[in-house]
């Protein structure tokens, strides 16, 4: 028997921060997160997060994520932009979390990576766990990893870079970044996994890892209707593409 915990009051202060809300009803919110925004408070980031903004915006969020993560069903890295779903009540949170566990939620990403992939599409499948030395990083060489699967498809090739469409089959921490680094094509601008190394004379306006969650699809936890949302590429990624195309 599943017991729903009583929500605890959140110590997090609501903050009047502008959010790009793609969809909202009484159960869920879909937010197009900007790069540079942390999803929820943690060490070093106790304000200015998406949760601070959400608490100001809607007042009621599910308590299952705990007092520091109210409503948060899944996350994006600070410097990854794109779509996130948030639960407003515990039953909705349970329903969305169940879909995540059963791998029925559709999550597609756009990335620019270093180098040119030899294959037009494929699947990367490894275990991912904490790096054995640097605990802030994830790694495919770990003693306590969990299975991770990422599908990729080439969209466009440049002289030294490739534009990819990626689909998450699982949702491990840093999964796409780790997988692409593992196959020798780290995400452009990724300071943690090798995508920020400079080579060549081309000046590319990169200020973060070039990774964007452009599509999110799930079954509404109350209505049972499948819903799908898309977020266009942000201006900084479009600017990078312009530079790469001009150099082709």
Catalytic residues: 77
Report yes or no: 184 and 206 within 8 Å, Cβ to Cβ.
no
Q: How far is CA 72 from CA 94, 126, 138, in A?
A: 11, 26, 21
User: What single DSSP character describes residue 193?
Assistant: T
* Rounded Cα gap, residues 155 and 117, in angstroms: 11
* Rounded Cα gap, residues 163 and 212, in angstroms: 11
- Please report the DSSP string for 66-117 in residue order: -TTSTTBSS---TT-EEEEEEESSHHHHHHHHHHHHTT-SEEEEEEEEES--
Report yes or no: 63 and 8 within 8 Å, Cβ to Cβ.
yes
Q: What is the distance, to the nearest Å, from the Cα of residue 50 to the centroid of all Cα atoms in its chain? A: 13
* Rounded Cα gap, residues 56 and 49, in angstroms: 11
């Amino acid at each position: 028997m599943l017991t729903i915990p009583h929500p605890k009051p959140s110590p997090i202060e609501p903050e009047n921060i502008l959010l790009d809300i793609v969809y909202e009803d009484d159960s869920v919110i879909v937010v197009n997160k900007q790069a540079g925004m942390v999803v929820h408070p943690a060490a070093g980031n106790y304000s200015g997060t998406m949760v601070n903004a959400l608490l100001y915006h809607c007042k009621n969020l599910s308590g299952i994520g705990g007092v520091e993560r109210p409503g948060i069903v899944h996350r994006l890295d600070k410097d990854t932009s794109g779509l996130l779903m948030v639960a407003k009540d515990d039953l909705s949170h349970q329903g969305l979390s169940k879909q995540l566990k059963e791998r029925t939620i559709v999550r597609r990403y756009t990335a620019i990576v270093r180098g040119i992939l030899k294959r037009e599409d494929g699947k990367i499948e490894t275990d991912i766990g904490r790096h054995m030395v640097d605990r802030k990083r994830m790694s495919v060489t770990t003693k306590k990893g969990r299975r991770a699967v990422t599908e990729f498809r080439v969209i466009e090739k440049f002289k030294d870079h490739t534009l990819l469409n990626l689909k998450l089959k699982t949702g491990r921490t840093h999964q796409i970044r780790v997988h692409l680094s593992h196959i020798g094509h780290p995400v452009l601008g990724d300071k943690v996994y090798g995508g920020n190394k400079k080579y060549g004379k081309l000046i590319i306006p990169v200020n973060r890892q070039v990774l964007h969650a452009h599509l999110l699809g799930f079954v509404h936890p109350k209505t049972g209707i499948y819903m799908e949302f898309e977020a266009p590429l942000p201006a900084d990624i479009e600017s990078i593409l312009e530079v790469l195309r001009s150099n082709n």
